[in-house]
Structure 1
């Protein structure tokens, strides 16, 4: 078997997209969603990991850019493997604990990012209706993990992996 030269081998390695977001909730466990200007469904504060940017920095950067909240993140809640769906390549999505927020703080958020039209606290069932189904499942897993104070949940396409 002939081995590839190292630089060719490195170029042949698969690439995965990554995204990171935050679960921000109030004392009654309503979750904070943002309404993006560029897509039909709502989302959690977060976004795509840039080149050479680890997911925890992405989550904190995106939360600060989208909401004006810049404070340390809490623990990792979810790692989700998202398979290739024919439109988007396979990837990994991370959700970190973004902390608690009050209704008053939500009303005073600095939404200076033109990508974000609004932000709203919603019960998980209402939030699940506004986001993509995969994110709804991932968001439920993140909320369950945060409520239990357990270690993070591993998911596949939003479904917790039990094996």
Structure 2
């Protein structure tokens, strides 16, 4: 009987899969219109959120991005709505995107938004159909999955924005 080769720990750890992460937050109003942001640096609108930094948890990423983009620091990140596996594309490695529930916004909340650093030009509440016209198709699918998660009170697992299983 042969003994299997043992790989040194450092070599094993170096061989492990690494994925980029991002986190977004779905804010909506009482009619299920979704808060979208118009970034200054790209043509498509987005939900609040962005890329995870080194050693940052997805919920910390979401909270940081909401604070940076909207000036909201007094609302905790809510339930996990979507976990979306994203395949490698456009020179980017594969990744995992998390979407959290930001809860309901009212008019006072919208008036209180502050776009501090010039990254965001505008914000608007949009229906799912209106959002589909403003965001990339992948995000439109992810938003639809997040709205489904809100209605069913269950996290939706996705690949490329579309529910699996």
Q: TM-score, normalised by structure 2?
A: 0.92
Question: Which of the residues 120, 125, 128 maps onto 2:124?
Answer: 120
Return the offset for 1:86: 4.3
Bigger Rg over Cα = 2
Aligned CA RMSD, in angstroms, stands at 1.3
CA distance in 2 between counterparts of 1:140 and 1:42 reads 15
Q: Runs of 5+ in structure 1 lacking a partner?
A: none
Return the offset for 1:6: 1.1
1:25 equivalent in alignment to 2:28: yes
Which 4+ runs in 1 deviate beyond 3 A?
A: none
Q: Paired residue for 2:109? A: 105
Q: TM-score, normalised by structure 1?
A: 0.93
1:8 equivalent in alignment to 2:11: yes
The 8 Å contact of residues 73 and 98 in structure 1, kept in 2 or not, is answered as yes
Q: Runs of 5+ in structure 2 lacking a partner?
A: none
Return the offset for 1:37: 1.2
CA distance in 1 between counterparts of 2:140 and 2:30 reads 20
